[in-house]
Structure 1
Amino acid sequence: MWRSIAAGSRLVARNFGVATEKVHCSQTLSLNISRSLSKPSLYRSSRFLSESPAANPKDESSFSPETDFSSRSFGENEYAQMDPSADAVESNDNLGENYDTQMEKFDFISGEGKEEEAYEIDGDKLENVLSLLQSSVDGYLESSLDSFELDLHEDFVLKVLETPLVLGENLVCFFKWVMKHPEYKVTSSVVDALVKAICSSVGKKDVYALWDLVKEIGGKEKGVLTVEILNELIALFSKLGKGKAAFEVFNKFGDYGCVANQETYYFTIEALSRRKIFDWAWSVCEKMIETGSLPDSEKVGKIISWFCKGGKAKEAHVVYTLAREKKMYPPQSVVAFLISSLCQKDETVKLALDMLDDFSGEGRKYAIKPFSSVIRSLCRMKDVDGAKTLLSKMISEGPPPGNAVFNSVISAYSKAGDMTPAMEMLKLMRSRGLKPDVYTYTVLMSGYANGGQMEEACEILNEAKKNHSRLSPVTYHTLIRGYCKLEEFDNALKLLNEMKDVGVQPNVDEYNKLIQSLCLKALDWRTAEKLLEDMRLKGLHLNGITRALIRAVKELEEDAIENGEALVEA
């Protein structure tokens, strides 16, 4: 029992009398212990002392003068009241076994287990640094910072970087100065704060200086640069229109141990597309496709649009296909633009045709533009039957075709000389309540005129005059050309005069075609000169080649007359 008490006393002295600043605490605890021992129930006091972290109960030198537990503190009357129970003996026996646990308890009481106190920023030094960085300092920034004798804690550096209205150039110089101190460890949060600060005050010079600094950090500190930091740089270069610089950042991902994500690919493609470097942009997009990682639908739509504008509709279709596989649906306007771009080349029209099946419901109802683009392309490729099939599908499933769609098919049939199916399309057009316009009648007349069927062409002209009060010069030009081709110049001249009567002014083309035909086929330079004079009165000017043709025919006739007269005289 005496040994237990002595060991507990020595341990209390050791833990509460080590340092000068702990004297008050140790005295208070010693007083509490002595008070508890003076109470009638010293059984609990004996347990308390036995649970103390006694390092060596036999070490008499562990007593401290500040906490001297003498026989006066533990008088005979007090010890007589102690109950020599098994618990007290057990506590004394287990004193050495529980040493580590007991030491932790007393460390906590004595304050040795406290966490490090929170860092407090020196307001005066912070104000001095900010005043320096917010002003223009030419060449003296580092020396001025050295004179401040700063404690470069991460919180202090972050506070400086997050303060607005600081020149970006000065922030970069400040960070370089900080990196020169070996005791300061650069962290991702600090670099991220620096990048965001530069991004808020965009300047091309600052951005390139920042990128040089980031490359320096990446070369020295492994694992500091993150995907987010590099993405912010790429986005900033994209905003400034620096596609090559953004591409350089993208190519550095592997060197810095970063893996590109959706935002990385998107911002890099955006930066390169803005500079119209579409080959590089596609190389980045190919890597994105390989990973199967796509941004959201809206951004996918922008990527598709960029490639379409860059003449890479086929590549844009690859992105669209992957998006569809992932149940991502770009805006309908983007889909329509992609279809229109695919229709510009014969080799990709089939892809555009297949895409039409992706429209359904309300979307299909208003998709008249992409359907029209495909039909025009099929007609251009002389696949008129395919265009007719698609038109029939539009009638049955939508979107309902309009005049432009019917005109494309009618024009294709007319150019091919297939007037029977062309007239059938005209009838179908009328049956759907659509009124043929002047263009419709003109292409039909052109088809008949090219085939020499001028009678049928004139019937179409009469129908056109009934349904439209004013026709175009092209309509009459089509028939005039047909009559000239058949050398029916009188009918051609009648149509020319008719144009004047109905208020359609002939243009240079009608006169030029008729004059050339008169000179080359009929050798009628007199009628040609009358038409030329008519043109002068109307303020029209005939080209020099046709004028020379009239003179040549006239001189040819005069020479023939002279030669004939000479032969008669001979």
Structure 2
Amino acid sequence: MWRSIAARSSFTRSFIRKFCSFQNPSSQVINKPFSSHYLSLQNPRKFHHQNYRFFSQFSSISEFETENHDAISSEEVEAETSEVFSDTHDDNSSLEPENEDNDETQMSHLNLNDQELEGIDDEKFENVRNLIQSSVDGSLESSLNDLDLRLTEEFVMKLLKTPFVNGDTLNRFFKWVLSRNDFQVTTLVLSEFVCAICNDPGLKRNDLYALWDIIKEFGEKESGFLNANILNQLISALSKMGKGKAALEVFEKFEEFGCVPNVDTYYVTIEALCKRSFFDWATPVCQKMVDSGMIPDSDKVGEIISYYCKDYRAQDAFVVYLAAKKKNIHPPQKAVNFLISCLSKVDETVYVAQEMLLDFSDEVRKHSINPFTWVVRGLCRIKDIEVAKKLFAEMIEKGPLPGNAVFNIIINALSKNGDLEDAKDMVNVMKGRGLKPDVYTYSVIISGYAKGGMMEEACKVLAMAKMEHSKLCPATFHSLIRGYCNLGDFDKALNLMTQMKDYGVEPNVDEYNKLIQSLCLKSLDWKTAERLLKEMKSKGLHLPGITRGLISAVKELEQEVKEQEAIGLEEALSKA
């Protein structure tokens, strides 16, 4: 029996010695991470008196000190401890009954205070959690008051992590917490509350606006209380709900609240505005991001570039691209190609797109035929054929190897510019590289010759096309028919329409219309025109009304001429 009494007495003195050492705790103990304390609470059977963070956190400790240990000094504790050890090692010492009763009293009091100092009352925690998870109709605050809770940072934060709690209930619970005079909200608690609201799958707009009102209260009362992470979460949630203007309002409050925007701040704000097509508001934010040098990662840069390109703001997207390039951040190739495509479509930015091609590595260049094709087309569109030919030569030398599309673009530009011999030379280059000029290639050259009235040269190219392709396209014959009609050689034009059938091409309304108009206006051959009209009807083609009227007008004009000639002849005969 004396051994059990001695053990209890030793445990009591040991606890008192440890507790007295906590009256002046070091900063290292106070700042012990929350996670370790939380883990200790998960297993309440462990020795809570060894958890320094626990004892320095709760107000019950100060009550425990004032009620039981005000009069105990460190010297007295040391003396009592030495007495215990001397008693426990003295086999002949006598133990008085009143000492046993005193020790048992101390142990019962110790157990009572040990329960009082536990971080979270599991029963009360479960009651609160069940309360906020259930549907409460207007009685949440009163129900919480009835529970007689002692709020701590750990208790509140653990409740805020409770799943399946809607935003409205979380807002009401947090407002109730704010109304308590015995608890002061920290930045950590507020951050957890914001996270809980913003991650609610069923979040409603009003819940988000109520959260913003709460955040504004903290920001306006104490500068620096909020941080970028809290406001970023709110901006991101507003972005998901399509509230770009509200997201911009939060962004503009950073300076007033004493917060410094970080790289995520700029991105989520730009994303929120671009999703709603508020590009006029997004551009100043984007400019601030560039000026600050806080460029997001490559994927996010690619998203920003894509947003701007979709709204035909390639120049603004290029500014973001340059800023990322200075930071050695390389956007996804898909976004870069999209930017080059948009820049190539605007005459003023074609050369900018050409400069971007210089940033391609050798490996990327080999698989980037589309960006190079877009730039070549842009250069030819602005009639800078010489630069286009230089880029074309670089493609042959370094890659990507040009295909039929690039050759056709160059040939078309040369033909429109009147450089038909150069165009034919380009066809020979195609053949030399193992490429087969397609029907479009020949059609482009034929069109160039026909527009210049060089029908013999055009027919030679047609002969080349017939040799390599068994089936031609309507455009091939259309250019020749127009050329012959312009020259008034209608027999050859009619002959070409007959040849079209042999190469799998049926004349369309354009061919018939052009030929009929030329026959009526230039040769007054309404009979051939009428025959072609009947042929069209048999094929189910419909001639425009103005052309049909032209056939009738020419026919009537010829009849009037014949009648006048007959009348004139009769008058001449009568006079004779």
Is the structural similarity TM-score above 0.5? yes
Which amino acid in the other structure matches residue 379 of structure 2?
A: L
Matches within 5 A, 1:121-132: 121-132=120-131
Matches within 5 A, 1:190-205: 190-202=189-201, 203-205=203-205
Q: Distance in 2 between matches of 1:164 and 1:298?
A: 31
Q: In terms of mean alpha carbon deviation, does 315-324 or 119-128 score higher?
A: 119-128
Q: Distance in 1 between matches of 2:117 and 2:519?
A: 104
Q: Closer, same or farther in 2 for the Cα pair 1:340/1:118, shift >3 Å?
A: farther
1:370 matches 2:371: yes
Aligned partner of 1:411 in structure 2 is 412
Aligned partner of 1:174 in structure 2 is 173
Q: Closer, same or farther in 2 for the Cα pair 1:20/1:386, shift >3 Å?
A: closer
Aligned partner of 2:282 in structure 1 is 281
Q: Distance in 2 between matches of 1:548 and 1:480?
A: 22
Aligned partner of 2:482 in structure 1 is 481
Q: Closer, same or farther in 2 for the Cα pair 1:132/1:555, shift >3 Å?
A: farther
Aligned partner of 1:161 in structure 2 is 160
Does the 8 Å contact 1:130/1:166 carry over to 2?
no
Aligned partner of 2:211 in structure 1 is 210
Q: Distance in 2 between matches of 1:406 and 1:27?
A: 98
Does the 8 Å contact 1:483/1:489 carry over to 2?
yes
What CA deviation, in whole Å up to 9, does each residue of 1:128-173 have, x standing for no partner? 3222322233333223323323222222211211000111110011
Question: TM-score, normalization: structure 1?
Answer: 0.79
The structure with more radius of gyration:
1
Question: TM-score, normalization: structure 2?
Answer: 0.78
Q: Closer, same or farther in 2 for the Cα pair 1:377/1:212, shift >3 Å?
A: same
Q: Closer, same or farther in 2 for the Cα pair 1:30/1:118, shift >3 Å?
A: closer
Q: Closer, same or farther in 2 for the Cα pair 1:222/1:23, shift >3 Å?
A: closer
Aligned partner of 1:352 in structure 2 is 353
Q: Distance in 2 between matches of 1:444 and 1:118?
A: 94
Q: Closer, same or farther in 2 for the Cα pair 1:115/1:336, shift >3 Å?
A: farther
1:302 matches 2:352: no
Q: Distance in 1 between matches of 2:356 and 2:84?
A: 92
Aligned partner of 2:79 in structure 1 is 29
Does the 8 Å contact 2:167/2:204 carry over to 1?
no
Identity %, equivalent residues: 55
Which amino acid in the other structure matches residue 450 of structure 2?
A: A
Q: Closer, same or farther in 2 for the Cα pair 1:137/1:507, shift >3 Å?
A: same
Aligned partner of 1:550 in structure 2 is 551
Does the 8 Å contact 2:223/2:256 carry over to 1?
no
Does the 8 Å contact 1:243/1:275 carry over to 2?
yes
Aligned partner of 1:228 in structure 2 is 229
Does the 8 Å contact 1:438/1:468 carry over to 2?
yes
Q: Distance in 1 between matches of 2:506 and 2:158?
A: 79
Aligned partner of 1:74 in structure 2 is none
Which amino acid in the other structure matches residue 235 of structure 1?
A: S
Aligned partner of 2:143 in structure 1 is 144
Q: Closer, same or farther in 2 for the Cα pair 1:283/1:119, shift >3 Å?
A: farther
What CA deviation, in whole Å up to 9, does each residue of 1:421-450 have, x standing for no partner? 111211212111111000000000001000
Which amino acid in the other structure matches residue 556 of structure 1?
A: L
Aligned partner of 1:466 in structure 2 is 467
What CA deviation, in whole Å up to 9, does each residue of 1:306-327 have, x standing for no partner? 1111111111111111222222
Structure 1 residue 277: deviation in Å? 1.4
TM-align CA RMSD: 2.9
Aligned partner of 2:264 in structure 1 is 263
Secondary structure of 1:254's counterpart equals coil
Does the 8 Å contact 1:508/1:541 carry over to 2?
yes
Structure 1 residue 125: deviation in Å? 2.7
Structure 1 residue 30: deviation in Å? 5.4
Structure 1 residue 199: deviation in Å? 2.3
Q: Closer, same or farther in 2 for the Cα pair 1:319/1:19, shift >3 Å?
A: closer
What CA deviation, in whole Å up to 9, does each residue of 1:248-267 have, x standing for no partner? 11111111111111111111
What CA deviation, in whole Å up to 9, does each residue of 1:435-490 have, x standing for no partner? 10000000000010001011111111111011011001111111111111111111
1:450 matches 2:451: yes
Does the 8 Å contact 1:247/1:268 carry over to 2?
yes
Q: Closer, same or farther in 2 for the Cα pair 1:32/1:137, shift >3 Å?
A: closer
